[in-house]
């Protein structure tokens, strides 16, 4: 794929080639992430000012913006330095004043000579019973007044850039917009009634009222779709490049799997059975597997993952399961060990803690193939770790890996299959955004025997009742998590919050009963505190959200979450999933600090009413927006400039199927529509896709 198409050159020129932009202004624009004319095209107005001409301001509801033709009257200079310079003007029916502060009288007399006709536009307010327009936005001779747009778009600005500068720059960029060949499927475009790209860009910058600013407005919807389509096309290209990489066919014999199934005290759920079949079929195929296993809290991902690892072992190879932290890796080890014993396979763990002789022995066993399944942190992919025959890599994803890391990971495994697990139910539109290059298996049923968790909402004013409840539960031999909020993102504050709560509970419940774990502790202390709680030595574990990920203590049946109103719904759902893992009735107490906002109350009620993580995630997305649900900063979520993931979720699914269909029918993007799609990728700076096409 050669460089950028020539027809796009004018859109990627230097900014100071535009009218009214010098090098200094270009630097200011860079703060808005605007570095080329194409960036201005995608910086759409967020509001609009009605500047349609009126005969008079009489009868207007003030304050209001008005555009009116006036006759200039008497000038009254300011009485004090920096005071108000006033000019009396009259329209067809009434009089008002133009007011200037720090007004230079010579300039104003030249611009607005008494007796002249001018069109003025700006905000009119009443001041001491007199209508005034302070510093009009426009003051033009009548014959030039057509330059004032009837509806003036309002843009987001940064220090030093005015609406006028922005408007001029955008108009100058619009003058360069080329006619481009259509990349949207013609049936799709006709069905939605979308304009051509050129027309859509021009319309989006010329809203004729508030309706034109809505995501549903056809010009905006079209541009949003272009953005989603380019993103999905990038993922589809990554996926096809990935699929052209030859994989290994790992065919299950069922010998080891059957041992597990007969040893299980229950039958796997239908969802688990389906996921196991899909994975087994993927691994048998000659192509490399690239699948996401998405399961709600407690839906039994561990069993599915282990069955997949057994396929690798049955085919004579090895499997590795990678967790983001040491605590989680050890927990996977504890969860898998009994299964490995039942199946008769060798399971081992490798983390950064392994040193010296012990590490060397593990590495040798791995290279000989004596270890069938390895669990570990990313230490399993260090240079000196080599496998005898690695066939499957499972990543326990807590949103830490982007598409690129997933590709690198598979490289290490000489064409190994890749399965990514996530415990966070993600709304479909976001799952497509983040994992559009993958096939998806969803675990949406709970295994039998998981008891529902009772959820209650309490004010922090009832703290002493909660502590009494705890005291009774501990006397009955139960255990409890107490989660403290992450305050203001400041770790020092979190620490004090958690430590104060710890001291308070220790004073009330007694020495040795309460443990503490937070993000600032050295890993060894954290592990020790967790271990003491897992062993039942401490009965209450005070923690910051360190514990949301996967910790398993079946005897813990109470979860107290302080300041629940400041947590995200998905996070609260994850935390609640830490209890209800044993035989006891479990409760989750959501404590809020009054007064609760309407939104806060709604969110907590959704949690009280539902245990379905997917439903909760969809609600969270509607209430908070995409960036917050995944935490955009670390999620690798693309930042869309126009598309609105909450309100245009349906477009994302259409974009995905359209992108995949185009790649299927035209893998080299050589057809007329394929070439148009390449132009779109350049236009939307999807460099990664462009690189992949040129490689592929």
Q: How many whole angstroms separate alpha carbon 235 and alpha carbon 656?
A: 9
Give the list of residues 6+ apart from residue 360 with CB closer than 8 angstroms, or none: none
Helix, strand, coil % (nearest 5) of the chain? 45, 20, 35
Please choose, from the candidates 575, 507, 618, the residue with its C-alpha nearest in 3D space to the C-alpha of residue 297: 575
Neighbouring-strand partners of residue 65:
123
CA distances from 509 to 198, 337, 469, 591 (A): 70, 35, 11, 19
Fold of 255-443: Rossmann fold (3.40.50)
* CATH number of the structural domain 453-610: 3.40.50.300
Give the rounded distance of the alpha carbon of 23 from its chain centre. 34
Q: What are phi and psi of 600, to 5 degrees?
A: -60, -45
Instruction: Tell me the mean pLDDT per 10 residues along the chain, length 696.
Output: 83 90 91 91 92 91 92 90 89 93 84 93 92 93 88 89 90 95 94 96 92 92 95 85 76 90 87 94 90 82 93 94 83 89 94 88 94 89 86 76 58 75 72 73 78 89 91 91 71 66 90 85 82 90 69 85 85 84 86 86 88 78 54 48 79 90 91 94 82 60
Q: How many whole angstroms separate alpha carbon 238 and alpha carbon 436?
A: 10
Q: Is 266 helix (H, G, I), strand (E, B) or coil?
A: coil
Buried b (16+ CB within 10 A) or exposed e, 242-272: beeeebbebebeeebbeebeeeeeeebbebb
Largest pairwise CA distance in the chain: 101
Answer yes or no: are the C-beta atoms of 34 and 173 closer than 8 Å.
no
Burial class from Cβ neighbours inside 10 Å (0-12, 13-18, 19+) for residue 486 reads buried
Q: How many whole angstroms separate alpha carbon 546 and alpha carbon 490?
A: 15
Answer yes or no: are the C-beta atoms of 629 and 571 closer than 8 Å.
no
Give the rounded distance of the alpha carbon of 95 from its chain centre. 54
DSSP code, position 246: B
CA distances from 403 to 292, 436, 631 (A): 12, 9, 17
Q: How many whole angstroms separate alpha carbon 527 and alpha carbon 530?
A: 5
Model pTM score: 0.64
Give the list of residues 6+ apart from residue 639 with CB closer than 8 angstroms, or none: 632
Neighbouring-strand partners of residue 542:
482, 516
pLDDT at 696: 41
Neighbouring-strand partners of residue 293:
421, 441
* CATH number of the structural domain 52-148: 2.40.50.140
Give the list of residues 6+ apart from residue 71 with CB closer than 8 angstroms, or none: 89, 90, 115, 116, 117
Domains 52-148 and 453-610 share a fold: no
pLDDT at 54: 92
Structure-token pair, residue 590? 């959501």
pLDDT at 634: 36
Structure-token pair, residue 498? 């958690």
pLDDT at 408: 60
pLDDT at 633: 34
Q: How many whole angstroms separate alpha carbon 343 and alpha carbon 657?
A: 40
Residue in the structure block whose two tokens are 């057994």: 310
Structure-token pair, residue 369? 């193939």
Question: Before 595, cis peptide (omega within 30)?
Answer: yes
Q: What are phi and psi of 261, to 5 degrees?
A: -60, -35
Structure-token pair, residue 344? 């008769």
Taking phi first (over 0 means left), then psi (-120 to 50 degrees means alpha), and beta for anything else, what does residue 558 get? beta
Q: What are phi and psi of 657, to 5 degrees?
A: -70, -35
Give the rounded distance of the alpha carbon of 478 from its chain centre. 37
Q: Is 687 helix (H, G, I), strand (E, B) or coil?
A: helix
Q: How many whole angstroms separate alpha carbon 456 and alpha carbon 453?
A: 10
pLDDT at 117: 94
DSSP code, position 73: E
Give the rounded distance of the alpha carbon of 652 from its chain centre. 14
> Could you tell me the residue ranges of all domains in the chain?
52-148, 255-443, 453-610
Structure-token pair, residue 21? 């932009």
Q: How many whole angstroms separate alpha carbon 426 and alpha carbon 629?
A: 9
In what side-by-side order are the strands of the sheet with 556-561?
Answer: 453-459, 586-592, 556-561, 479-483, 540-543, 514-517
Q: How many whole angstroms separate alpha carbon 347 and alpha carbon 333?
A: 8
Residue in the structure block whose two tokens are 């990971």: 409
Q: How many whole angstroms separate alpha carbon 185 and alpha carbon 661?
A: 10
Structure-token pair, residue 237? 């290209």
Give the list of residues 6+ apart from residue 411 with CB closer than 8 angstroms, or none: none
């Amino acid at each position: 794929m050669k460089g950028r198409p020539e027809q796009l050159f004018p859109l990627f020129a230097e900014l100071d080639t535009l009218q009214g932009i010098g090098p200094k202004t270009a630097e200011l624009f860079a703060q808005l992430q605007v570095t080329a004319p194409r960036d201005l095209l995608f910086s759409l107005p967020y509001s609009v000012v009605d500047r349609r001409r009126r005969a008079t301001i009489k009868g207007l509801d003030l304050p209001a913006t008005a555009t009116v033709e006036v006759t200039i009257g008497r000038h009254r200079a300011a009485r004090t330095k920096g005071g108000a310079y006033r000019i009396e003007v009259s329209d067809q029916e009434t009089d008002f004043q133009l007011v200037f502060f720090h007004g230079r009288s010579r300039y104003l007399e030249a611009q607005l000579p008494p007796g002249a006709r001018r069109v003025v536009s700006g905000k009119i307010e009443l001041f001491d019973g007199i209508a005034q327009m302070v510093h009009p936005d426009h003051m033009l001779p009548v014959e030039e007044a057509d330059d004032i747009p009837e509806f003036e778009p309002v843009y987001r600005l940064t220090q030093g850039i005015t609406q006028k500068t922005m408007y001029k720059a955008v108009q100058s960029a619009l003058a360069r917009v080329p006619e481009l060949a259509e990349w949207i499927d013609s049936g799709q475009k006709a069905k939605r009634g979308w304009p051509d790209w050129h027309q859509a860009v021009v319309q989006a910058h010329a809203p004729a009222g508030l309706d034109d600013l809505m995501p549903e407005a056809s010009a905006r919807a079209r541009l949003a779709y272009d953005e989603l389509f380019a993103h999905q096309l990038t993922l589809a290209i990554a996926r096809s490049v990935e699929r052209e990489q030859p994989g290994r066919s790992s065919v299950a014999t069922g010998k080891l799997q059957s041992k597990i199934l007969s040893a299980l005290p229950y039958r796997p759920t239908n969802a688990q059975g389906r996921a196991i079949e899909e994975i087994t079929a993927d691994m048998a195929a000659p192509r490399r597997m690239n699948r996401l296993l998405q399961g709600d809290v407690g839906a039994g991902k561990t069993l599915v993952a282990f069955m997949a690892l057994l396929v690798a072992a049955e085919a004579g190879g090895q499997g590795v399961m990678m967790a983001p932290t040491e605590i989680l890796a050890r927990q996977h080890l504890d969860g898998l060990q009994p299964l490995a014993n039942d199946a008769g396979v060798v399971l081992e763990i490798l983390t950064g803690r392994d040193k010296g002789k012990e590490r060397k022995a593990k590495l040798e066993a791995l290279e000989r193939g004596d270890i069938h399944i390895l669990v570990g942190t990313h230490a399993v992919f260090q240079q000196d770790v080599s496998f005898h025959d690695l066939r499957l890599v499972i990543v326990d994803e807590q949103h830490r890996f982007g598409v690129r890391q997933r590709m690198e990971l598979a490289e290490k495994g000489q064409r190994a299959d890749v399965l990514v697990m996530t415990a966070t139910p993600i709304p479909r539109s976001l799952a497509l955004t983040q994992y559009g290059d993958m096939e998806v298996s969803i675990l949406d049923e709970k295994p039998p025997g998981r008891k529902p968790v009772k959820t209650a909402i309490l004010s922090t004013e009832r703290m002493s009742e909660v502590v009494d409840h705890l005291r009774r539960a501990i006397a009955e031999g139960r255990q409890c998590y107490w989660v403290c909020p992450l305050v203001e993102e400041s770790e020092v504050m979190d620490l004090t919050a958690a430590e104060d709560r710890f001291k308070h509970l220790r004073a009330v419940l007694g020495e040795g009963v309460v443990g503490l774990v937070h993000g600032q502790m050295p890993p060894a202390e954290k592990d020790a505190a967790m271990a003491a709680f897992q062993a039942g030595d401490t009965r209450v574990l005070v923690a910051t959200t360190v514990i949301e990920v996967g910790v398993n203590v079946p005897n813990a049946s109470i979860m107290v979450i302080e300041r629940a109103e400041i947590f995200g719904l998905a996070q609260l759902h994850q935390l609640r999933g830490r209890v209800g893992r044993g035989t006891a009735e479990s409760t989750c107490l959501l404590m809020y600090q009054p007064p609760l906002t309407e939104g806060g109350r709604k969110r907590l009620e959704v949690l009280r009413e539902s245990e379905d993580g997917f439903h909760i995630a969809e609600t969270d997305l509607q209430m908070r927006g995409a960036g917050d649900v995944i935490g955009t900063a670390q999620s690798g979520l693309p930042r869309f400039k126009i598309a609105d993931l909450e309100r245009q979720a349906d477009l994302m699914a259409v974009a995905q199927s359209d992108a995949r269909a185009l790649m299927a029918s035209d893998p080299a993007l050589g057809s007329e529509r394929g070439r148009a799609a390449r132009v779109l990728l350049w236009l939307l700076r999807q460099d990664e896709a462009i690189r992949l096409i040129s490689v592929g």
